[in-house]
A = this chain, B = another copy of it.
C-alpha cells in the first residue's frame, strides 16, 4: 500500500468531479491497485494556493467538496506555484486550469514546475499539449515521471493510451473526427428548423458550450484537438494557424435540413492526413457526411474519432454523451496508469 499526495491545480467542475470520483473509487483503488491518497494541495483563482502538511492532514471527505470553507479552514496558504509544490510535496498533480488556445500558458509553466518537483503531471488542458507537448514530454522523460492527458480530446475515451499501450508498431496515416459537441448540437437544432441562437442556448443548457461560444462555433476547439492528436500520435507539432479552419456560422437551417433530408448531414469535420509528399494537411470545416458513415452518425453531445492505420483499414472510437464524470475518469485512469508501473 502506498499513499500518494495529490495536488489539484485548478478546482472547478472537472477538478471537483475528479475529487468525488476519487472518494467513490477509494475502496477499489486500495484493493485493486494498492493506492491510498490524500489531498496535499489545492490551488484555484478563488482559493489561492492552499496546502496541507502531512502531519496536519484533515480527513478529506465528500462534504468538503461542497464548499470552499473546508479548504480555507484546514489548509495553509502558499504564495506561488513554487512554494505550493514545496509545501504540499505532491506525488501527482491534476491540472485543470482554463484553456489558453493561443499559448497554453500559464499551464505549461505550471506543469514544468510540477515535473521538475518530481511529481507526475496529469492534465485535461489541450492547450498544454498543442503548445508544450515536446518540451514537457522531454522533461517528463528526464525526470522519470509521467505526463498524461487522456481527457484532452475525446473526454474519457482512451485515445492516447490506445496508441501508447495497445497499438504498437502501427503507423497512423490520418484521422478524422467529430470533436465539438457544441457545433453538433447547434447543427441538429437548426436541422429541426430552429435558429442558431436556440441551438447555442441548448448547448449551453447541456453544459457543453465553452465559456466563449465563438471558440466552438468558429472551430477553434476542434482545431486545437486536431493539433493535440497530430503532435502526440503522429509526432508532427501542428499549430492551430496551420489548420485550414472554417466555422459553422454560414450554415442556414434550410441548407442543413436539405442536407439531412438527402442523407448526408453536415458535421463540423476535423481531418488530418499525410499526403504523398509526407506533409500533413489538416482541416476543420463543415462537411456533408453520409449518415451511414460512423462519423455522419454521431448525434447530440457524442464525440468520435476515426483512425486510418497501415495495419488495419480503419478503427472508429465513439464516445456516447460523455459527461463531467467521464472527463474526470480520464484523469483517474491517468493517475492509476502513472503509478501502477
Contact = CB atoms under 8 A, between A and B. Distances in A.
Contact of A329 (B165, B299, B311, B333): B311
A165 B168 contact: no
Contacts of A299: 292
A262 to B, nearest CB: 15
Given A33-B169, A312-B326, 8 more contacts: A32-B168, A150-B166, A156-B312, A165-B165, A294-B297, A313-B326, A314-B319, A317-B317
A246 interface: no
A194 interface: no
A161 B166 contact: yes
A291 B292 contact: yes
A168 B319 CA distance: 17
Contacts of A312: 155-157, 319-320, 322-323, 325-326, 329
Interface in A297-341: 297, 299, 311-323, 325-326, 329, 332-333, 336-337, 340
A169 B333 contact: yes
Contacts of A62: none
Contacts of A156: 311-312
A165 B150 CA distance: 13
A158 B165 CA distance: 10
Contacts of A321: 313-314
Interface residues of A, number: 44
A336 B33 contact: no
Interface in A4-46: 25, 28-29, 32-33
A165 B313 CA distance: 23
A263 B158 CA distance: 31
Contacts of A167: 158, 333
A83 interface: no
Interface string A129-165: 0000000000000000000001000011110011001
A206 to B, nearest CB: 13
Nearest to A301: B313
A170 interface: yes
A166 B169 contact: no
Nearest to A323: B313
Given A169-B25, A297-B297, A317 B315 contact: yes
A167 B161 CA distance: 9
Contacts of A329: 170, 311-312
